[in-house]
């Protein structure tokens, strides 16, 4: 791949989110991210604000798309949602909203994320497993686009068990799969956080009702779930 194409690949929303997940993995490994959801939301908002976008984001980092005629900019904003969650359905760490106002398209979508820290080398404790399944069941009913991210600490997850040739610090599961599981996952049972980054950016799993442009749909979700952070990523054309 030409060097200038490598540069272009860095200027996609999926690349930016992938960088944020990679740094979260490093922070979890060092013990710096005691609260991974809060850490990731604040870090992503700081790093991605002003990110230059040279082409739209596909759901696969290796899929090439027609670049923008002129570079776009990303505005990353972090909001609180005070008073959310009176319905008692559980907690969402970050609701990621993507707004697109590009030369190619205009749309919005949202994906709720919940982060949990578990030891990747040990079975998930029964009380943690019970809480995970209950949270996943609520998400599967109200927000099937949600993802539950398991952060391996102090040990990562085996990527090729039982022979641990490689490992993964963070992986994501859809709530319907986790809610329906009869036994806790062992090793890596979902998708890598790096893959999730491109799904978040492209909208392949995003819910248009949670994008934030339809206030009544988002309000209903905020009544049911306590949302700690809303991370809004707005792709904007140059002025």
The tens digit of pLDDT for each residue in 103-149 reads 999 999 999 999 999 998 888 899 999 999 999 999 999 999 999 99
pLDDT category at 162 given cuts 50, 70, 90 is low
Domains of the chain, residue spans? 3-236
Find the length of the chain. Answer: 239
How many other β-carbons are positioned within 10 Å of the β-carbon of residue 190?
21
pLDDT category at 156 given cuts 50, 70, 90 is confident
**230 pLDDT above the threshold of 90:** yes
Question: Which ranges constitute the DSSP H helices of the chain?
Answer: 3-10, 13-30, 36-48, 126-142, 175-179, 193-202, 215-224
**E runs forming strands in 1-133:** 52-53, 72-79, 91-101, 106-118
Is the model's pTM score more than 0.85? yes
Question: Helix 13-30 crosses helix 36-48 at what angle (to 10 degrees)?
Answer: 140
**CB-CB contact of 178 with 189 (8 Å):** no
Taking only the tens place, the pLDDT of each residue in 68-99 is 989 999 999 999 999 999 999 999 999 999 99
Q: What percent of the chain has pLDDT over 70?
A: 90
Could you give the CA distance from residue 237 to residue 111 in angstroms, rounded to a whole number?
A: 23
């Amino acid at each position: 791949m030409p060097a200038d194409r490598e540069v272009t690949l860095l200027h996609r929303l999926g690349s930016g989110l992938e960088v944020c997940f990679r740094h979260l993995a490093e922070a979890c490994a060092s013990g710096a991210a005691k609260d991974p959801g809060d850490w990731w939301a604040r870090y992503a908002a700081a790093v991605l604000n002003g990110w230059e976008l040279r082409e739209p984001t596909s759901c696969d980092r290796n899929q090439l798309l027609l670049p923008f005629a002129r570079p776009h900019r990303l505005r990353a904003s972090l909001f609180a949602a005070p008073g959310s969650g009176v319905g008692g359905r559980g907690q969402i760490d970050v609701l990621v909203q993507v707004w697109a106002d590009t030369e190619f398209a205009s749309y919005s979508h949202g994906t709720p994320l919940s982060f949990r820290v578990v030891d990747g080398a040990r079975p998930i404790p029964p009380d943690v497993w019970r809480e995970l399944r209950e949270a996943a069941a609520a998400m599967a009913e109200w927000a099937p686009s949600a993802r539950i991210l398991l952060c391996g600490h102090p040990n990562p997850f085996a990527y090729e068990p039982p022979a641990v040739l490689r490992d993964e610090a963070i992986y994501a599961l859809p709530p319907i799969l986790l809610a329906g599981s009869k036994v806790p996952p062992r090793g890596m049972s979902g998708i890598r956080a790096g893959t999730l980054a491109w799904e978040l950016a492209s909208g392949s799993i995003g819910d248009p009702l949670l994008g934030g442009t339809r206030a009544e749909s988002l309000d209903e979700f905020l009544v049911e779930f306590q949302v700690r952070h809303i991370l809004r990523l707005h792709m904007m054309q140059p002025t």
